[in-house]
Structures are given as C-alpha cells and as structure tokens.
Amino acid sequence: MRGIISRFAPAPTGYLHLGHVVNAAQVWGETRARGGRVLLRIEDHDRRRSRREFEAAILEDLAWLGFEADAPPVRQSERDDIYTHALDTLRRQGLVYACDCSRADVAQALRPAIAELTFHATPQLPELHYPGTCANRGLAEGPGVGLRVRLAPLVERFDDLRLGPQEQHPFEQCGDLLVRDRDNHWTYQFAATVDDHVQGVTLVIRGVDLLASTGRQIQLARLLGRADPPSFLHHPLIMKTPSQKLSKSDRDTGIRELRAAGWTPAEVIERALALI
C-alpha cells in the first residue's frame, strides 16, 4: 500500500485513558509499519461535551507518550464550511430531509420491537433504528429541527484487516442517518465520514465498538462522491467487565494519574496493550 494516511481522532470530552493509548499504539504502529502518515483530528463536533481543557490535556499526554502526528491537528468545530458543502452534495441528490424527532420519540416508536427483543433475553438493547417518521412529511428546516440523509437498503461489504470479510445492512441497522441534530450539531457519523473523505484518509484504525458504523460510513462516503472507501482495521478494546468497555470515568486508568504516579511512557503503552 502506498501513500497511506490514517488518523487518531479523539473526542475532547475527557482526559486520555488507557483505551486511547491502545488506539494510538495501533494507529501509529500499523501506519508506520506500512510507511504511512498519521493525522490528528480533534472530534469536538459535540459542543456541549467538548472542552478546550481536555483537548490541551490530550495533546500534552500524546506528546509525552511520543505519539507525533505528521500535520498540525484539525478541529471539527472549525470545519463548518466543509460539512455544509458536503451536505449540499447530498441535497442536490434529493437525499436530505428535516426531522424533529427526539431520541425519546424514536425509542417510543420502536417500543414493540425493543420489548420483543428484551423478552428474548437479549443482553444489550439494539441500537435505535430510525423508523422514517419524518421521511415524507416535508417538514421545513429551522431551529430545533435536525437533518437526515436517506439511505438505500443496500448491503455493504468490506474486508476488515483484522477480522476479515464483513457484511452490513446499514439501512436495516439504523435507518436514515442523522447528519445534524436538533441542536445544530453535526453528528459523529457525518463529520467523521466527511473528514475521512476530504482529508484523504485511506486507513481507519479504531476500536471494535465502532465496527457497526463502518458500513453506513462507506455508504455515506459513496453518496459524497468517494469512489474507494478507506481500509478498516478494528482492534480489541480494554474491557472493564466482559460487556463493559473502559470509559473516561474510570479514573485509575487515566494517563494523568499514571504519569503522576511515576510511570514512564513505555510502561504506560505496555500496560495498555497487555490489557486487550
């Protein structure tokens, strides 16, 4: 593979923890092994939860760990024009419609389906499949109204570099995709897909918790005009319990704390990789 570009894309909604270190070690390790470049993207699309203080701390911890990007970081909060332009591409294809459903509305509309699954003792609730409530309402856009993109019921196939051949059905999984929410925030799915396309990312390395997002991102990228999707590698996660991944609130795994306790960068990276 030539001219490989990957990215490390943390959301600045908390401090760096061992889960991020696993991802960073995989991103830099796999990309460098292929002679590629790593971009750093601050995924601060959610303005409610993102904080500059976390961003600064993440950058500082990454530098301490020795993970150096090949270009200055970009912030999603400063890429509004790029997302608006991408949205126009979808609009011109007649794929965008306004939607004022809240998450609670969607959950309510799905209640019979969820009740059925719960009855069959499914350990985790399925992700919310948007049932298309607003698809043909012709609702006007405006404050307090979100935007969705129509997805066709296609099958998306890709070869994960670790897990092998994958087949996903995005429309059945999630329904029409929310691109901007009712508070006027671009969504993760949309912003990340646009950025991966516009930044020329050819290798996406991330945790297996995002595996289900990949088919819809491939489909969305195609609608945005991307002919060849990136390659994907989904790596294992550090689990707190068999069904619960590590989160930012798990304080004992924060890089700040480990640094203060005298750990070296090499020890932190080794510890993180030993936990997966």
> Where on the chain is the footprint of ligand GLU (CB under 6 A)?
9-11, 43, 192, 206, 210
Judge residue 45's burial from the number of C-beta atoms within 10 Å of its C-beta, 0-12 exposed, 13-18 middle, 19 or more buried. buried
Calpha distance 237→25 (Å, rounded): 12
Phi, psi at 159, each rounded to 5°: -100, 110
Nearer of residues 9 and 151 to ligand GLU, judged by Cβ = 9
Q: State the angle between helix axes of 214-223 and 188-198 in degrees (0 to 180), rounded to the nearest 10.
A: 60
Q: Are 129 and 112 spatial neighbours (Cβ–Cβ below 8 Å)?
A: no
DSSP line for 135-151: TTT-PPP-TT-EEEE--
Per-residue tokens: 110: 């799905």
Nearer of residues 9 and 38 to ligand GLU, judged by Cβ = 9
Nearer of residues 86 and 101 to ligand GLU, judged by Cβ = 86
Nearer of residues 148 and 216 to ligand GLU, judged by Cβ = 216
* Three-class secondary structure of residue 7 per DSSP: strand
Nearer of residues 62 and 192 to ligand GLU, judged by Cβ = 192
